[in-house]
């Protein structure tokens, strides 16, 4: 899998994402509730001029809108799940979540139904999609992978 771009930090993730979804009118994020939701909202901020939706792994049949209000990006009312781009978030691939890649692939296919040039983008940390071999099941167009370094300092 060739690396087409490298960057650092949250800005690097956001700028990379914005570049990959250029031209998309509708983007649907799929992830676990709680853990993935804030990442969908964060990524959604840089494309807030598009129609955005979030699907929770607790109910793949229901999509909720993501919208900007004065407090930032928020989940809203039920909406259509169909999109030009589906973003699978790495929390789905964590072993304790219990979602298999075949199910995620099926969900992505449903979301992209009717899209002429639909894309599947994975966004994960610490190579979760690769470690769990999701890239062998799902035909990702792109994977944004990031590593986290954590320092706790006593001052």
Domain harbouring 70, CATH code? 3.40.50.2300
The per-residue pLDDT of the chain, averaged, comes to 94
Q: Do the domain assignments include residue 140? A: yes
- pLDDT above 90: residue 116: no
- pLDDT (mean) for 64-87: 96
- pLDDT above 80: residue 1: no
Beta bridge partners of 56: 31
Contact partners, residue 13, CB within 8 Å, separation at least 6: 7, 43, 123, 144, 146
Q: How confident is the model at residue 98 (pLDDT cuts 50, 70, 90)?
A: confident
pTM more than 0.85: yes
Domain containing 55: what range? 9-144
* Residues of the chain above pLDDT 70, percent: 100
Number of domains in the chain: 1
């Amino acid at each position: 899998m060739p690396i087409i771009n490298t960057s650092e930090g949250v800005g690097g993730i956001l700028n990379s994402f914005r570049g990959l979804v250029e031209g998309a009118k509708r983007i649907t994020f799929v992830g676990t509730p709680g853990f993935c939701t804030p990442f969908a909202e964060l990524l959604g901020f840089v494309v807030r001029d598009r129609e955005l939706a979030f699907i929770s792994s607790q109910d793949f049949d229901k999509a909720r809108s993501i919208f900007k209000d004065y407090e930032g990006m928020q989940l809203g009312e039920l909406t259509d799940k169909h999109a030009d781009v589906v973003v699978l978030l790495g929390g789905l691939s964590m072993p304790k979540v219990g979602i298999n890649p075949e199910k995620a692939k099926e969900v992505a296919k449903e979301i992209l139904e009717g899209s002429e040039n639909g894309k599947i983008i994975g966004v994960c940390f610490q190579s979760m999609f690769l470690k769990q071999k999701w890239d062998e099941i799902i035909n990702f167009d792109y994977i944004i992978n990031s590593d986290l370094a954590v320092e706790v300092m006593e001052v």
